[in-house]
Amino acid sequence: MDTLELHMTPSVVDAPVVRNPGMDLDMDWVMRTRANRSAIERRAGTLPGRRSVKKDYQAAWLARAISCIDLTTLAGDDTEGRVRRLCAKARQPVRADLLEAIGLPDLKTGAVCVYHDMIPAAVDALKGSGIPVAAVSTGFPAGLSPFHLRVAEIEESVKAGAHEIDIVISRRLVLSGDWQGLYDEMRAFRAACGEAHVKAILATGELGTLQNVARASLVCMMAGADFIKTSTGKESVNATLPVSLVMIRAIRDYYERTGMLVGYKPAGGISKAKDSINYLALIKEELGDRWLRPDLFRFGASSLLGDIERQLEHHVTGAYSASWRHAAG
């Protein structure tokens, strides 16, 4: 089996995503889940060497990557002005002349991701664009604030206009093997989100083993996560291809068992255009083309867009420009 599309009719491939309602916690399934590190690393290691796209094909892949970026600012010195500039960049992520040259004048990013206090500015700046606002929540990035405050933070962000909520799980629940506790926490976060989509951040660099990553991925999906996400971007180790392979295969297993399509978001450390193509190729090979759309795949990134824009300028003009000519906002 090369991709899940072998199991999908054309109508399913083109259908809108139905939100994942979750299911009862299946501990037998969780505990049967294993991760062979050497096999996973070997498979992930073959990807950069086997997949190379050039010229128009490369430009098309890079444009797809842009459409799947959650353009992000999560700094302590964020201001409304910075967020509005970032939103303007989300509306027109690449210079107009370059977009015209590659035939994609309406290209925009998948979302803009901010802290709670910046939601009103982002919502106002993106009005009429169709670009959703995502907000990090639940005591991001550590997730160690009191539980009732984490739930209340979600509710406040939804009330402020966020369309998507990126929550952080309690890593200690994974490290101690408290899968029921993780399930209950995720269910509560899912309920607090209401109509807003919820992305579960696993902080994979702090979970110890790939087996823990696989089990945490499954539990969060069972509890109703619409997306599973690698990292906050604040850990010492963030998104990697081996971790992505583990999470993507958990998504595949969940789809085959339940028929529900759950999204994937690698975040942190993805800053080069060539890296974005590796992640897209991995998604295509493991899950299929349906996951190569922003409703099921996102990059959590702040600097990635600048490098992609440089590559697109080289594609159009034959010359590389300085990175400062492609500011994030």
> What are the structural domains, with CATH classification, of the chain?
27-323 (3.20.20.70)
Q: How far is CA 105 from CA 63, 91, 96, 108, 165, in A?
A: 11, 11, 7, 9, 29
Task: Look at residues 244, 289, 286, 285 and name the one whose alpha carbon lies nearest to residue 264.
Answer: 244
Task: Tell me the two tokens of residue 114.
Answer: 């901010």
Task: Look at residues 184, 264, 277 and name the one whose alpha carbon lies nearest to residue 226.
Answer: 264
Report H helices in the chain.
10-14, 27-32, 37-50, 55-67, 80-91, 96-102, 119-125, 147-160, 171-175, 179-193, 210-222, 241-258, 273-286, 304-317
For residue 329, what pLDDT is reported?
Answer: 60
pLDDT digits (tens, 9 = 90+) for 283-314: 999 999 999 999 999 999 889 999 999 999 99
308 or 327, which is more confident? 308
> In the predicted model, is pLDDT for residue 222 greater than 70?
yes
Confidence of residue 253 (pLDDT cuts 50, 70, 90): very high
Specify the 3-state DSSP secondary structure of 57. helix
pTM here is 0.93
**Stated length of the chain:** 329
For residue 290, what pLDDT is reported?
Answer: 96
Task: Tell me the two tokens of residue 10.
Answer: 């054309």
CA 329 centroid distance within chain: 21
Q: How far is CA 298 from CA 69, 80, 265, in A?
A: 5, 24, 5
CA dist 161 and 177 (Å) reads: 35
For residue 325, what pLDDT is reported?
Answer: 67
Beta strands at 197-201 and 111-114: parallel, antiparallel or unpaired: unpaired
Q: How far is CA 174 from CA 30, 39, 53, 178, 206, in A?
A: 12, 23, 38, 6, 10
> In the predicted model, is pLDDT for residue 326 greater than 70?
no
Contact between residue 213 and residue 207 where contact means Cβ atoms under 8 Å apart:
yes
Give percent of the chain with pLDDT exceeding 70: 92
Q: What is the dihedral of CA 201, 224, 196, 153, to 10 degrees?
A: -60
Confidence of residue 2 (pLDDT cuts 50, 70, 90): very low
pLDDT digits (tens, 9 = 90+) for 80-93: 999 999 999 999 99
Average pLDDT of the chain, as a whole number: 92
By CB neighbour count within 10 A (0-12 exposed, 13-18 middle, 19+ buried), where does 40 fall? buried
pLDDT digits (tens, 9 = 90+) for 4-19: 443 454 445 666 889 9
Beta bridge mates, 227: 199, 263
CA dist 150 and 240 (Å) reads: 28
Catalytic residues: 166, 229, 265
